[in-house]
Amino acid sequence: MRLKLVPSETSWDFFRYAKITMGASILAMIASIILWLSVGLNFGIDFLGGTTIRTESAQAVDVGQYRQAIEPLALGDVSITEVFDPNFGPDENVAMIRIQAQEGQESVPPETVLAIEDALRTVDPDMQFPSVESVGPKVSGELILTAILAVSASMVAILIYIWLRFEWQFSVGAIAALIHDVVLTIGIFSLLQIRFDLATIAAILTIIGYSINDTVVIFDRLRENLIKYKKKPLRDVMNLSVNETLSRTVMTSGTTLLALIALLVLGGDVIRGFVFAIFWGVIVGTYSSVFVAKNVVLMLGVSREPKDRDKGNQFANIDA
């Protein structure tokens, strides 16, 4: 007996409400951009600048106690993570504490650093602070630029890959879906004011990879069916392709979401923003693969002529 989230054979019309789904996607993207421009993102230390303090203690690191000790100082965005290293001895318990730059200053002033150290010594009087490092606004600006370049470069590479593997209409549809996913992810982070840092950029790149993988699976089946059903209308072939891959799509997304829910609940504050970004990305990525990418391809049209299809598929055997 096998678990089936979706029947083996389905014949759902995914274009029945195409105008509604595309309209909703466009409105959601516009709302996300407006939120981004009006409310802004809750940037973390990586993008705002701040100070990193390394602690070393003979006692086990208790992130909750550390945070409770620092909280009365009202320092704003504080990130506390335990550092694991196989070379550390049993009495070497290391943590990294990152504090955002204070208003009107490039980093945390020395007197504030001393206050933080005194507060942490209430947890462990023998705690040591081997290093204190600051990230200024110049470095933060470079990180923002690098993050934008990383996301842009990944999309350009995907655009070229899809163009070579399928046809240009497929590449436009895939990129439209990816832009949809990234914009909506930024929008939800702006709406909920979840901390946006380098880990979130890593999550966005993960979302791009997950979403394009799902889209390519559908496109692969669509290409096969375009050859198999030469006389069938393009809309019907697309519907058939999505229905044939629907079970795989739902199962993959469902099992991924189960793991992410566990991490959201049990993972703690350190990775919650990263996990939430991927969780949200899996949902919108699955939606865009089914309702955005193929709708764009249908609007652009795909040549059914054999000679044109041969040109579009000259790189079809490139390994994914």
User: 180-214 in b/e burial notation, b at 16+ Cβ within 10 A?
Assistant: bbbbbbbbbbbeeebbbbbbbbebbbbbbebbbeb
With b for 16 or more beta-carbon neighbours within 10 A and e for fewer, the 252-262 pattern comes to bbeebbeebee
- Give the pLDDT of residue 102: 64
- Identify the DSSP state of 67: H
Q: In the predicted model, is pLDDT for residue 238 greater than 50?
A: yes
**How many angstroms separate the CA atoms of 205 and 278, rounded?**
9
307-316 average pLDDT score: 49
For residue 64, the tally of other CB atoms under 10 A from its CB is 10
CA distance 208 to 186: 13
Return the closest-CA partner of residue 275 out of 264, 289, 262.
264
- Average the pLDDT over 145-160 and give the result: 82
Instruction: Tell me where in the chain the CATH 1.20.1640.10 domain(s) lie.
Output: 18-42+140-312
Of the candidate CATH numbers 2.60.40.10, 3.30.70.120, 3.30.70.260, 3.40.50.300, the domain formed by 50-135 belongs to: 3.30.70.120
Q: How far apart, in whole angstroms, are the C-alpha atoms of residue 287 and residue 273?
A: 21
Residue 197 φ/ψ, nearest 5 degrees = -140, -165
Structure-model confidence comparison of residues 317 and 256, the more confident one: 256
Size of the chain in residues: 320
Cα-to-chain-centroid distance, residue 197: 11
Identify the pLDDT of residue 29.
93
Question: What is the distance between the alpha carbons of residues 231 and 164, in angstroms, rounded to a whole number?
Answer: 25
Residue 135's DSSP bridge partners are: 50
Cα torsion at 149, 150, 154, 156 (round to 10°)? 10
Most confidently modeled range among 23-32, 153-162, 186-195, 209-218: 23-32
What's the count of helices (H) and strands (E) in the chain, helices before strands? 11, 6
DSSP 104: T
Task: Choose the weakest-confidence range: 140-149, 180-189, 285-294.
Answer: 140-149
- Considering the entire predicted model, what is its pTM? 0.72
Write down the CATH superfamily of domain 18-42+140-312.
Multidrug efflux transporter AcrB transmembrane domain (1.20.1640.10)
Residue 108 has pLDDT above 80, yes or no: no
Helices (H), 193-266: 198-228, 234-266
Reported as a pLDDT band with limits 50, 70 and 90, residue 228 is: confident
Residue 51 has pLDDT above 70, yes or no: yes
Helix, strand, or coil (residue 248):
helix
141 pLDDT above the threshold of 70 = no
Closest by Cα among 112, 76, 106 to 195: 76
Using a 10 angstrom Cβ sphere, with 0-12 exposed, 13-18 middle and 19 or more buried, the burial of residue 174 is buried
Average pLDDT of 154-171?
A: 81
Band of pLDDT at residue 320, cut at 50, 70 and 90? very low
What angle is formed at CA 301 by the lines to CA 297 and CA 306, rounded to 5 degrees? 115
Checking if the pLDDT of 223 tops 70, the result is yes
Answer for the pair 276, 263: CB distance below 8 angstroms, yes or no.
Answer: no
CATH 3.30.70.120 residue ranges for the chain? 50-135
- Asked if residue 75 has pLDDT above 90, the reply is no
Lowest-confidence pick of 24-33, 98-107, 122-131, 228-237: 98-107
Task: Give the pLDDT confidence score for residue 6 in this predicted structure.
Answer: 58
Task: For residue 140, give the amino acid letter.
Answer: S
Alpha-carbon distance 166 to 235, whole Å? 18
pLDDT of the residue at 162: 79
Note the pLDDT of residue 106: 61
**What pLDDT, on the 0 to 100 scale, is given for residue 313?**
52
